Chains A and B, each alone.
Chain A
Amino acid sequence: MQSILNRIVLFLRTRWYVALIGLLLLVWLAIRFRENPVLFAQFMVDGIRLGFVYALIALGYTMVYGIVRLINFAHGDIFMVGAFTAFYATTHYHWGFLPAMLLAMVVCAFLAVTIERVAYKPLREAPRIAALITAIGVSFFLEYFTALDFVFTPNFISYTPLPIKFKCGDIAGVTFSNIMLIIIAVSTSFLVLLWYIVYRTKLGKAMRATAWDKPTARLMGIDVDLVITFTFAIGAALAGAGGMLYVVVYPQIRTFLGVMPGLKAFIAAVFGGIGSIPGAFVGSLIIGMVETLSQGYLSSTLRDAIVFSILIIVLLFRPTGLFGEAAKEKA
């Protein structure tokens, strides 16, 4: 308790301007809330829904980064593949919602493992920038390859019929939809499951050990390659589920679908502290809300500018993000 207080005092002394800006922001939001509470609540609710979808993507970014120190830019495109898989499963083969989601997760996991084996593993000992550029290459490959006529299509597809019927409710003027509740339920259960895997299973222990120190983990008898494969698979499975949820809310599927959500989720992961699982979650929720609030109260054209400046500000002033620890560089 004492130490937390001390840290807060220290923070206020050294970074008083941050606290001041934060306070001003809160006051401004409070004024807006007083003006029209219903509208404000609606923005918050929409922001949370968006945030939960980002969280499913951001978790994959952050887990992979935590373990192999690679920003996997192809992650947003795996998200897109998940969306297409679920679409074909539900519309062409009439699968139910949950089986389709499971299928999307499995397909994405296999895809990510293949990508990891083909594109990233040979570069594991290469400079990190080489792997990063490869990741961008893989991302472009997935986008343009799937845009070919015989793969998916360069045109957008409308997701009809949706696997679940849209139902909307109203609580004191604030609209909720059943899909929003499904998104929150699915994301939360995956988050709990992920937390369980990482902190309560042997595999999770091995993952944390690999993240901490790869050579030593290997010396302790951990199959590091297998752990890395698993990390990619889990991250991609989450993205696959996220992809399906995303196209159910925004029923328009195209091969460039993953680009923007992928970038936003990446910003959320950096904001929360890349490598940190709770950080990715909290970061995503905040980014989702920043998006809707800035669109609602400032200007809809400024929204992306604001979100991207968050990335720059975080990188400038707190590169480790909200929950990140100081980088543990290993020789």
Chain B
Amino acid sequence: MKGKFWSVLSVMLVLGLLLSACKPAAPKETIKIAILGPLTGDVATYGASNRDGAIMAFEEWNAKGGVLGRKIEWVLGDAQCDPKAAADAGKKAIDEDKVKYIVGAVCSSESIPISEYANEKHVLQISGTSTNPMVTVDKEGKTKPYTFRACFIDTFQGSVMAKFALENLKAKTAAVVLDVGNDYIKGLAEFFRDAFEKGGGKVVVWESFVKEDTDFSAILAKVKDANPDVFYIPTYYDKLNLIGAQAKQKGITAVMLGGDGWDSPDTDLAACDGGYYSNHYHKGDPRPIAQDFLTKYKAKYGKDPDALAALGYDAAAALLEAIKKAGVDDPTAVAKAMETLKFEAVSGTITFDQYHNPIKNAAILHVKDGKIVFEASVAP
């Protein structure tokens, strides 16, 4: 008897649950957007800046009444700058949180696996900071219809630095180190090498390391022996701190060059003193929108924004602009609207090319006596 009672009860409970799940959704529901990026791990400051920037944009829009008359709601996911963790975070956002839009991720090695799943599920993704070309195009070279980005790509960043080294620094020889397991670092290094050699320079040391490495003495001994004019270290700040410090200890005098991976509050500026790096944004940018962003960010978070925060903000704003332009809450229509979008963002005026990459300038920044100063702006 008792057993029967329980089984009837459980069947009823299950039915009740099923029925309640079928109820029509309430009108005026929120627009749900996922913010993905590394919130823990070696490059956690990237994820934090990106998140803070994106949230600031969402809050500003919410204060103005949201988009399409609906409030914006966001969920966070930790992609850990790792392809596996990123794929999981992306799946969770799409399948469990049921988001239709993703801002992120940060590392290219996160955004690539997420973009594959997002395109399969017709979820619109806009990354603020993933610079590897493969984020928006697939292996056949076709543009992924649902993936965009708000930053310039590695090809551009690598060749800008090569151009800068050849023309401004009059460099003839270069040493390059790279992490073979990282799409972003490898991309930058390869494009730098190609552009540098095309411009008449010579890459004399080309050495790779793996993510777990902390000792670079053998690589640096080679660099010192080759004595190049410039030393390209397109890594993230965690490795830059180690490589830079060890290079200084070894007495390497080559000018260090890098990419936007150097941009972090945790970068050891003494380790890369005298170096130059390419970046998306600099707080010295005089345009009103950039200055406005700077004051608001400072007021909200109590610190200066880095490029990742600016790009997170831009990516979120671009997404909302596109939703507004499309006029419907439908990723396919929004993607169409995004393709022809032109809008003034903090990091420059954004229009998208056929590969969903924005066309805008790069800033070259100079690390000098513990300070970062604006050096030049280089057009594509």
Contact = CB atoms under 8 A, between A and B. Distances in A.
B253 interface: no
Given A155-B41, A155-B44, A251-B245, A301 B210 contact: yes
Interface in B39-93: 40-42, 44
A301 B44 contact: no
A260 B213 CA distance: 8
Contacts, number: 80
B298 interface: no
Contact of A158 (B209, B222, B241): B241
A46 B246 CA distance: 12
B149 to A, nearest CB: 25
Nearest to B251: A175
Contacts of B44: 154-155
B208 A301 contact: yes
Interface size class of B (residues with CB under 8 A): 20 to 34
A244 to B, nearest CB: 14
A75 interface: no
Contacts of A260: 212, 214
B240 to A, nearest CB: 11
A214 interface: no
A119 B241 CA distance: 38
Interface string B8-47: 0000000000000000000000000000000011101000
B225 A156 contact: no
A175 B224 CA distance: 10
Contact of A300 (B208, B212, B241, B250): B208
Contact of B214 (A39, A154, A252, A300): A252
A50 B215 contact: yes
A292 B217 contact: yes
Nearest to B238: A156
Contacts of A42: 217, 221, 224-225
B207 interface: yes
Given A154-B40, A154-B41, A300-B207, A252 B238 contact: yes
Interface in A267-304: 291-293, 295-296, 299-301, 303-304
A125 interface: no
B284 to A, nearest CB: 26
B219 interface: yes
B346 to A, nearest CB: 26
Interface string A140-160: 000000000000001110101
Interface residues of A, number: 37
Contacts of B224: 42, 175
Interface string A30-73: 00000010110011001001100000000000000000000000
Contact of A252 (B40, B221, B222, B241): B241
Interface in A155-197: 155-156, 158, 160, 166, 168, 170, 175, 177
Interface in A212-260: 249-252, 254, 256-257, 259-260
A252 B251 contact: no
B268 interface: yes
Interface in B236-284: 238, 241-242, 245, 249-251, 266, 268
A156 B214 CA distance: 12
B180 A39 contact: no
B209 A39 contact: no
B180 A43 contact: no
B182 to A, nearest CB: 13
B218 A250 contact: no
B208 A43 contact: no
Given A154-B40, A168-B251, A300 B209 contact: yes
B232 to A, nearest CB: 15
A291 B241 CA distance: 22
Interface in B147-192: 180
A57 to B, nearest CB: 14
Contacts of A155: 40-42, 44
Report which residue of A168, A260, A291, A295 has the largest number of chain B beta carbons within 10 angstroms of its beta carbon: A295
A166 B245 CA distance: 10
A77 to B, nearest CB: 15
Report which residue of B44, B221, B245, B249 has the largest number of chain A beta carbons within 10 angstroms of its beta carbon: B221
A300 B218 contact: yes
Nearest to B40: A154
A300 B219 contact: yes
Q: Which 3 A-B pairs have the closest CB atoms?
A: A295-B218, A46-B217, A250-B214
27 contacts: A39-B222, A42-B225, A46-B221, A49-B217, A154-B41, A155-B40, A155-B42, A158-B241, A158-B268, A160-B268, A175-B224, A175-B249, A175-B250, A175-B251, A250-B242, A251-B242, A252-B242, A259-B212, A260-B212, A291-B215, A292-B217, A295-B218, A296-B221, A300-B208, A301-B180, A303-B218, A304-B210
Given A260-B212, A301-B210, 4 more contacts: A43-B218, A46-B221, A175-B224, A295-B219
Interface of A: 36, 38-39, 42-43, 46, 49-50, 154-156, 158, 160, 166, 168, 170, 175, 177, 249-252, 254, 256-257, 259-260, 291-293, 295-296, 299-301, 303-304
